[in-house]
């Protein structure tokens, strides 16, 4: 056994590298936030869509987004249009691609007659594929939080 000084290890050296883990964590959180918010930015018109368990977006070769808000105003691609402009835009879409699908989003408070008018304009323009877009949340679960 030796008596004397104990061997001391030199202290830990300062780390001169950048720790990438927090940076990667922040970037992944931002990616998740963008993934979740991107679908919400698709339409800026506030609608109260009807609820359906089986509602799922279908895929079509070409589609025209047609919106009827609670006041009965018609929008194409988030721009309000009159009945004449609506007919012209739908005819132009039919001329570009005859199998164009009209994706109709209508507020649930819109009268049925107004929806039939819009469907009639689309059919007169030659567009017979009309998809009704609904919210896929269950009706019971989503009305519980409403005042």
pTM of the model as a whole:
0.54
Record the tokens describing residue 88, joined without a space.
């012209």
Q: Tell me the per-residue pLDDT of 94-109, one tens digit each, with 9 for 90 and over.
A: 898 888 888 899 988 9
Residue 125 and residue 91 in contact, taking contact as beta carbons nearer than 8 Å:
yes
Q: Where are the alpha helices (DSSP H) in the chain?
A: 21-37, 83-96, 112-124, 139-143
Q: Tell me the per-residue pLDDT of 59-76, one tens digit each, with 9 for 90 and over.
A: 546 888 889 998 889 999
Distance CA 30, CA 36 (A): 10
Domain ranges for the chain, please list them: 63-140
Class of domain 63-140: alpha beta
């Amino acid at each position: 056994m030796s008596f004397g000084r104990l061997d001391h290890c030199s202290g830990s050296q300062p780390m001169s590298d950048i720790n990438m883990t927090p940076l990667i964590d922040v970037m992944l959180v931002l990616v998740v936030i963008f993934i979740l918010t991107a679908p919400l930015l698709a339409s800026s018109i506030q609608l109260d869509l009807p609820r359906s368990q089986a509602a799922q977006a279908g895929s079509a070769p070409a589609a025209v987004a047609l919106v009827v808000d609670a006041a009965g105003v018609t929008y194409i691609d988030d721009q309000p249009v009159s009945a004449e402009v609506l007919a012209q835009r739908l005819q132009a879409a039919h001329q570009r691609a005859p199998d164009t699908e009209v994706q109709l989003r209508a507020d649930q408070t819109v009268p049925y007659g107004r929806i039939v008018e819009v469907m009639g304009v689309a059919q007169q323009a030659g567009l017979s594929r009309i998809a009704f877009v609904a919210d896929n949340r269950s009706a019971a679960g989503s009305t519980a939080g409403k005042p």
